[in-house]
Structure 1
Amino acid sequence: MYMVYWTEVEKDGAYPESKPFDTSEMVAAMQFMEELRRRQRAGEGVRFITMCSEHPDVVGHPGVDVTGPDYNWKKRRR
């Protein structure tokens, strides 16, 4: 799944926006981002355009995992 995030800046404040896209719609998400960038270049109050992805069939949990008692990694120094 893809999510496009951006901020609409208006006279009375800034408002975060988002739009979801299916995993098979990466091209559509990128085209949508380009349209937002066109609006930004034209002087409209569109800022902070970004895209994030999350695979729906991911095996593990996102983030740092907990290590077990047998974990013994050391940074090798010269």
Structure 2
Amino acid sequence: MFVVYWLEDGSTPTGIARFERFPDDQMTQALAFTETLRRKQAAGENVSFVTLCSENPRSVGKAGASGPPADYTWKKRRP
């Protein structure tokens, strides 16, 4: 799944948070929508903080970083 997030109405201190969802097979449409918002922002419209996020529903592991395995030994290599 893809989600585009942005803020509208810069006249308020917090703005109005908006988002638009796209299915995982519509990455091209999500990118095009993001570009449309960024062009509005560049033209001076009240659009800011435009970002595209994705989440892979077929991921085999949990999202994020994990610690090293128990048997891992770190060594600093010097030239």
Q: TM-score category by the smaller chain? A: 0.7 to 0.9
Structure 1 counterpart of 2:55: 54
Q: Percent identity?
A: 44
* 2:44 alignment partner AA: G
Q: How many residues get paired?
A: 78
More strand by share: 1
SS at match of 2:34: helix
Normalising to structure 2: TM-score of the pair? 0.80
Normalising to structure 1: TM-score of the pair? 0.81
Gaps of 5+ in 2: none
**What pairs up with 1:13-28 in 2 under 5 angstroms?**
13=13, 14-28=15-29
Q: Pairwise CA RMSD of aligned residues? A: 1.7
Deviation at 1:10, TM superposition (A): 3.5
* 1:49 alignment partner AA: V
